[in-house]
Structure 1
């Protein structure tokens, strides 16, 4: 990671599907902070995913990896399913996959905040009294578990049947570091006036790795974080509790698979996947920490190119970049307030609009956020 001492290099990887559309608005917002707030930001951009294959004949050309290595943070859009691109060799698909990017950067802690925005309370399928005031964050372990475990694959058995195998595996140090991250985050949130409690989520009743997860989280807590409230919860119960009474949660730490599923479930507190940002962070080193910021929605090929995608999750991911990488919480709050104002004024993209009601295009929503920033 290289840059001048006073400038943060941010690399935009728009990706596929709706990625270029939503990241176009992120680029405009980031440029506003650079030009109007005089933040030391250098914006760069490269193709990624299928767009990279079409442009360069490679999913990860050396030039792209050099840009990734040189960046303080990556602003990522969305990635299409490369399994559909049968013309791309399997080895090349692995070389340019998002999983490989996360693993190579060792961004093991994935933060997925879920906050009930006042202007969107009626967009949730849950009752107002259930969602009002919700402010929680998932800490999803991102570089281990079933998405990376070996052996994996599909084989044909002697009798012609197929067998698919994926392996859920964690080492004690992987659990320890994500537990510490969650406990440290809870302490930070407590200093901000939030509950500062942690729920650790597993399936220790039926999975040996889950039982180990619970035991190690408890051990780290008892040795180093006795001041932080800790609760253990089974993953299926957590799914139910997110819908029944989400206000009980502050920080939820869990493994790669459960974090993926449960945070998408929690998206309905805000009313749409198009509202959920995320930050994937490495441990701090002598040169800072690696960081990857992305909305948690996918590439949405059914609406790609139509100009109707919601850019707010991607824009709020940039707010997380302001807070975590640039360490400018006041600027992050400025952007988050602007989004709240826009939604409070009734602006809606199609995913948030009442059926049959008028909605804004992707660009128009970006315009609305920029206008709100200009008035702040």
Structure 2
């Protein structure tokens, strides 16, 4: 395979493709490096992906493409990879990737890491997201023919690989650890994201929190599924700030989940707060159902911070304002940087160490 610099250039080209595609869908005029037929082919796959998975709306798919367009620039890629030492002219290893399918292109960062380290990706797709990535891979190879043969998809049993990165539930993680015990691996489990409120948040911050809650219908591990609020917190300001997100209830699958979960909670005599499109339930768990948000009250902020730090293996993102070193600003959970590794495990370091 070509050298490290050329691999970076390949993904810069892909970032340009995503950017031009998103611009074309918004009728933005400009000189295009890529052809309209290639855009039309991707449009067809977007329609098919939405047909197969009702959560993959066009809006959410384009949001994913635009996020990658912003990330895949020469400056961002070089800045990200600068701390690592890459060995030139090494023989590529085959890295098996077992990908999740909860949000569009959720496993693309793993593919990116594998290829940038000079390795081959052997990909097992989730049935929930098996349309978009093969098309993106085809586009990438058309832009950088030297990558041909470095991206392969497997529908049957995985074999002939040197290391594995697998994403799944806590139950499948135990299976993965046993099955892949003889290979170097990264095994990812269930994680959720939380927001810590103090009651001093502005309406603008709370509205931005709506993106953290509702983007991708709350299906991502970076989606906020739980709030920590001070005892006696007044939820009125939160509901007022989130009102602009009310059209989400027009999505049939979301509305069905809202109605179902509300009925289950009411039959169980749980005390609820709700506004017609979001249910708030007091619960110590981290993983709330679709259209629901758990909350937990606290009296001592420092004690709560210790609890959250102690539960860090269950938490992907912490949304707050000047409370944690690793916190994420309101509204930014679905805009990860290239350095934001899932489960805080450095994928590039793992691949350089095991390939």
Say whether the fold is shared (TM-score over 0.5). no
Q: Which has the higher contact order (CA 8 A, sep 6+)?
A: 1
TM-score, length-scaled by structure 1: 0.28
TM-score, length-scaled by structure 2: 0.29
